[in-house]
A and B are shown apart, each in its own frame.
Chain A
Amino acid sequence: MISRRSFIKSMALGSALAAAQSLLPGIAFPAQAQASANAQGMQWHKTPCRFCGVGCGLLVGVNQGRAVAVKGDPASPVNKGLCCVKGYHVIQALYGKDRLTSAKIRKNGKMVDVPLQEALDVVASQMKQTIAAHGKDSVAVYGSGQWTIPDGYVASKLFKGCIGTNNVEANARLCMASAVTGFLTTFGLDEPMGCYEDIDHADVFVLWGNNMAEMHPVLFSRLLDRRQRDKKVVIVDLATRTTRTSFAADKSILFEPQTDLAIANCIAYQIIKDGRVNRPFVEKHVAFKQGKTEIGYGLEDDFAFKDEATPTDFSSYSRFLEDYTPEKTAALSGVSAADLRYLATLYGDPNRKVVSFWCMGMNQHTRGTWINNLVYNIHLLVGKISQPGNGPFSLTGQPSACGTVREVGTLTHKLPHGVVMNEKDRQMAAEIWQVPVENIAPKPSHHTVSMFRALDRGEIKFMWIQVTNPMVTMPKLKRYRDATKKEGRFIVVSDVYPTPTTDIADVILPSAMWIEREGMFGNSERRTQHFHQLIDPPGEAMSDTLQLIEVARRLGYGDKFPSDPATHIGEIWEEYRRFHDGPKHGMAPYELLKQRPGVLWPFHEGRETKWRYHGATDPAAKGSSFDFYGKPDHRAWIWLRPYEAAPEVPDREYPFWLCTGRVLEHWHSGSMTRRIPILHRAVPAAYAELHPDDATRLGVRDGDNIRIVSRRGALTLEVAIDRRGRPARGHVFVPFFDEHQLINEVTLDAFCPISKQPDYKKCAVRLERV
């Protein structure tokens, strides 16, 4: 950190330079390399931001073939002209000096440059050989929520439709699978009912384990703007760690990890007790279901789980909630009974509109599906849903986690429409893809953690990884890194920079990123956003879509994919769009996407749908009131989900909770943001946040080193006291972006048995002075 003294010095130096400059007019003192072009020749083009799931609209200034400036797009209803520091500097992520510009192949243990076409030949022949020797389920593709929609669509069609394996997964399994299963179990259809415009109407915002000021800063600014306009607006930060969000909120409530399950049930209990249930809504639009309990944590390799919905009713739901009185919940969660009642009052007050926001806190959770269900329960009890300013809102972290992974369905059980288990869905896919229906396997194969475990065991021999960095982001990392290095495994990595994942690759394919190619992203509010190719990719870099098509051609499936690089994105979009035809999920035509800064789906008969499941705003809803048409009974389901403890809780030997996450400046595994000078200089390395009392007890101070040890691994980090956040006593927080300090060596690979999403927020560690 720059000191006061050095700042004053630099100020003095600056004025000396300025004085020199005024003495010697015409002599430039260049501090940065400058393009010779001036601002006059610059063209501005719309695009969504490359980074998070908020999906801000940007205007990128292009001059002489290079991206040179960024503005927020005032026409975008997402951010209305404002960006965050990552967005304003996103174009610098294109220009790291170590961009991958040519393909590389491992020869005698060393990576050597080869022409791209040769590398694609090798990928295709390796796939062919592997399938011939070990069957089609021995090859897999692992993509991400940063895949554009065409990338994911082509991957799914190639692997599920042509090759015939369901070994298609994406890193979004690690970030929002619980949100998906939450939506599906409660509503029968994925993705939020509302949109960001809810922010402009709500009176209360409850943030469930979501440090929105840092993770979704542009949306958070909209919350602050809303509060500035209407002083009665309340923001509640419900979290396990004190952050910027806590300071900006009107009320900060800290709870013990995992007890959000109890808190949500307690709020429901209190709403019923206070007589705040919206009875007409519940009677007409809600059904009650009970699922299995004590469902495990997925730690065993052969773990399998299938939930079952048993019908039940309101009175058994009320009885079930007796275990979650404010007093009982207070003892478990550490939240005072008064605060729990306050939360119930906020949700229950008929004169306040309430939006709940959440992201990784609820999704990266061994009971992630349950806690998603439980927050929906609250909104359903009081009928605050599917109306402007009222609704539960699940946020995402990647630019196209919704657009590509959830909507295209690049998960093992999914198809672009429906699931592989459903015969009708398979038939639809086979017809649109023009492949024999027998090609599509009716059984899901591996979810992400299971896929890497299968790689470790040797059932999967070939894996193609695109746009993601699992060698930073997998939990219990050592097992899965060792797996990739085993004899007989072949790993292809498509990326834009060298990363720990390209380090383990047998073939590296250089990718064209973001505005170096044409594509679409889909953000958290069901908004599909198109971007043109604005600049040329460096060297031989090629889009992931074209890489997949090139390999498909070599495997003999060339006729299934468009071949003209000038029109292929539009052709893919129009083919994909057929899957979602109709009022429930209609997508905007290609030509319209090109014109607008994003279009919301369902897009039906020329109109966007801002709020689903209500006759007034959703063309798919029947009648003039609510219609939860995702479920066959046209009702939303309230689930009886109990509190169950985390798989690993602090004990004598490992007395601290470890939580991992992000910081404002870095995104995902940092492979892009660390190459942006201002962002790297702001946060150059990971650190371990401790509560000051714990630091005193351990005898460490800010800036000292500490060793974090779990049953899986250990890592030494710099201690950070009250810098960015303050964990509760007995907790330690570490950001995961730093490839030199991999906190995932320490984390646990337990996952939610329903969503299969791992929990990066809770495991037990020991801290040692070093």
Chain B
Amino acid sequence: MTQTPPQRFMVIALLTLLLAAAAWVVGQAFNEPVAPPHAPTKAVATSDPVRALYQEAGVFQGRDQRSRFVDLSQSGTRSLDSYYQRRAYPGAPPFIPHPVDQDMKTAFNACNGCHEKGGFVARFQAFAPQTPHANYSNCRQCHVPQADETLFQATTWQTMTPPALGRAALPGSPPPIPHALHMRENCSACHAGPAAPMEIRTTHPERLSCRQCHMKTTTDAPFTRSLSARQPGGTP
């Protein structure tokens, strides 16, 4: 079957175009002594609102995956008291309470093996708590093992009272979130599963959208009506 002239021209035109493109690409490769100054960089970490939102997105991360490894409805024996004992103050990074083999290596896999998803660790006869911020990889930057229990000098340090439990507004209503969410994006790390302290363990780990019901309190002041607040741009 023979081709009609217009079709043949189209094929020729296409080939010419391809050739030109190839020449341009090859030319580019030769014609580039240095990356031009201020060339855009791929995958730049930004500190704009996207990143701020990303913090909250973490609340949902890792939940359904984790249920493949751990029975989230299972209850452990860990207490809130021991949870706080490992922290200098509520919110401080906890020390590593167990022996570690590889002090020299950053050993991301060594930590993540147990702490990325959680689960029972036969060697220590315990459930490993899951990290609430698995996206950070230099674990030993913030978490250090304790070689002994002595002090160099005594201290007058006083920690804070941890947030009180049972702050639900009504009997049975969902309690508010008493702590910051930064680096604690994955609620289930501390609030679900057998490694969660008993006192703060959720009764409903199967529900995925925690912040549908649990809010962070940002003010203790009650609502008051203010006329100025209703004017455009006015602040009470």
For residue B64, CB closer than 8 A to chain A, the reply is no
For residue B163, CB closer than 8 A to chain A, the reply is yes
CB-based contact A682/B144 at 8 Å: yes
When C-beta atoms are compared, the residue in chain B nearest to A94 turns out to be: B157
In the assembled complex, which residues on chain A have CB atoms less than 8 Å from the CB atom of B95? 678, 681-682
With A39-B90, A677-B155 given, is the CB distance from A217 to B99 under 8 Å?
no
CB-based contact A97/B105 at 8 Å: no
In the assembled complex, which residues on chain A have CB atoms less than 8 Å from the CB atom of B77? 14-15, 18-19
For residue A522, CB closer than 8 A to chain B, the reply is no
For residue B126, CB closer than 8 A to chain A, the reply is yes
CB-based contact A616/B143 at 8 Å: no
CB-based contact A200/B41 at 8 Å: yes
In the assembled complex, which residues on chain B have CB atoms less than 8 Å from the CB atom of A389? 41
CB-based contact A675/B136 at 8 Å: no
Instruction: Give the tally of cross-chain contacts (CB within 8 A).
Output: 263
For residue A83, CB closer than 8 A to chain B, the reply is yes
Interface string of A4-39 (1 = CB under 8 A from B): 100110110011011101100000010111111111
> Looking at the complex, which of B13-21, B178-186, B208-216 is the stretch in contact with chain A?
B178-186
- Measured CB to CB, the closest approach of chain A to B94, in angstroms, equals 9
- Measured CB to CB, the closest approach of chain B to A385, in angstroms, equals 10
CB-based contact A243/B104 at 8 Å: yes
- Measured CB to CB, the closest approach of chain A to B97, in angstroms, equals 6
In the assembled complex, which residues on chain B have CB atoms less than 8 Å from the CB atom of A350? 32-35
CB-based contact A92/B88 at 8 Å: yes
For residue B147, CB closer than 8 A to chain A, the reply is yes
CB-based contact A218/B141 at 8 Å: yes
CB-based contact A31/B182 at 8 Å: no
> Looking at the complex, which of B3-11, B44-52, B223-231 is the stretch in contact with chain A?
B44-52
When C-beta atoms are compared, the residue in chain A nearest to B136 turns out to be: A221
CB-based contact A34/B161 at 8 Å: yes
- Measured CB to CB, the closest approach of chain B to A443, in angstroms, equals 42
In the assembled complex, which residues on chain B have CB atoms less than 8 Å from the CB atom of A8? 124-126
CB-based contact A681/B147 at 8 Å: yes
Residue in A85, A617, A683 whose beta carbon sits within 8 Å of that of B143 in the complex = A85
CB-based contact A684/B148 at 8 Å: yes
State which residues 213-249 of A face B: CB under 8 Å: 213, 217-218, 220-222, 224-226, 228-230, 242-244, 247-248
In the assembled complex, which residues on chain A have CB atoms less than 8 Å from the CB atom of B42? 230
Residue in B41, B147, B153 whose beta carbon sits within 8 Å of that of A682 in the complex = B147
State which residues 94-114 of B face A: CB under 8 Å: 95, 97-99, 103-108
CB-based contact A81/B183 at 8 Å: yes
Cα-based distance from A540 to B160 in the complex (angstroms) = 26
- Measured CB to CB, the closest approach of chain A to B159, in angstroms, equals 5
Residue in A19, A77, A96, A726 whose beta carbon sits within 8 Å of that of B47 in the complex = A77
In the assembled complex, which residues on chain B have CB atoms less than 8 Å from the CB atom of A222? 45
For residue A80, CB closer than 8 A to chain B, the reply is yes
CB-based contact B105/A247 at 8 Å: yes
With A2-B145, A96-B153 given, is the CB distance from A66 to B158 under 8 Å?
yes
With A8-B124, A37-B160, A225-B45 given, is the CB distance from A2 to B99 under 8 Å?
yes
- Measured CB to CB, the closest approach of chain A to B218, in angstroms, equals 12
CB-based contact A221/B146 at 8 Å: no
Residue in B55, B79, B178 whose beta carbon sits within 8 Å of that of A21 in the complex = B79
Cα-based distance from A677 to B147 in the complex (angstroms) = 11
When C-beta atoms are compared, the residue in chain B nearest to A682 turns out to be: B144
With A2-B99, A3-B99 given, is the CB distance from A684 to B159 under 8 Å?
no
With A350-B35, A681-B149 given, is the CB distance from A69 to B106 under 8 Å?
no
> Looking at the complex, which of A260-268, A587-595, A717-725 is the stretch in contact with chain B?
A717-725
In the assembled complex, which residues on chain A have CB atoms less than 8 Å from the CB atom of B178? 39
CB-based contact B152/A17 at 8 Å: no
Cα-based distance from A63 to B81 in the complex (angstroms) = 22
CB-based contact A679/B144 at 8 Å: yes
Cα-based distance from A305 to B185 in the complex (angstroms) = 58
CB-based contact A680/B145 at 8 Å: no
- Measured CB to CB, the closest approach of chain B to A23, in angstroms, equals 12
For residue A701, CB closer than 8 A to chain B, the reply is no
State which residues 119-174 of B face A: CB under 8 Å: 123-126, 136-138, 140-164
When C-beta atoms are compared, the residue in chain B nearest to A674 turns out to be: B152
In the assembled complex, which residues on chain B have CB atoms less than 8 Å from the CB atom of A248? 106, 108, 138
CB-based contact B180/A85 at 8 Å: no
CB-based contact A18/B198 at 8 Å: yes
- Measured CB to CB, the closest approach of chain A to B58, in angstroms, equals 12
CB-based contact B148/A681 at 8 Å: yes
CB-based contact A39/B137 at 8 Å: no
For residue B89, CB closer than 8 A to chain A, the reply is yes
For residue A388, CB closer than 8 A to chain B, the reply is yes
- Listed from nearest, the 5 A-B pairs whose CB atoms lie closest are A18-B79, A15-B77, A97-B154, A229-B43, A14-B82
The 25 sampled A-B contact pairs (Cβ below 8 Å) are: A4-B98, A31-B81, A35-B161, A37-B160, A39-B90, A39-B160, A68-B159, A72-B182, A80-B45, A96-B154, A201-B44, A247-B104, A350-B35, A351-B35, A497-B153, A616-B37, A616-B38, A670-B152, A675-B155, A677-B155, A680-B152, A682-B147, A684-B147, A684-B150, A722-B103
Given contacts A32-B159, A228-B137, 5 further A-B contacts (CB under 8 A): A4-B123, A69-B89, A80-B51, A681-B146, A722-B104
Residues of A at under 8 Å CB distance from B?
Answer: 1-4, 7-8, 10-11, 14-15, 17-19, 21-22, 29, 31-40, 42, 61, 63, 66, 68-72, 74, 77, 80-85, 88-89, 92, 95-99, 200-201, 213, 217-218, 220-222, 224-226, 228-230, 242-244, 247-248, 278-281, 350-353, 382-384, 387-390, 497, 614, 616-617, 664-665, 670, 674-684, 722-726
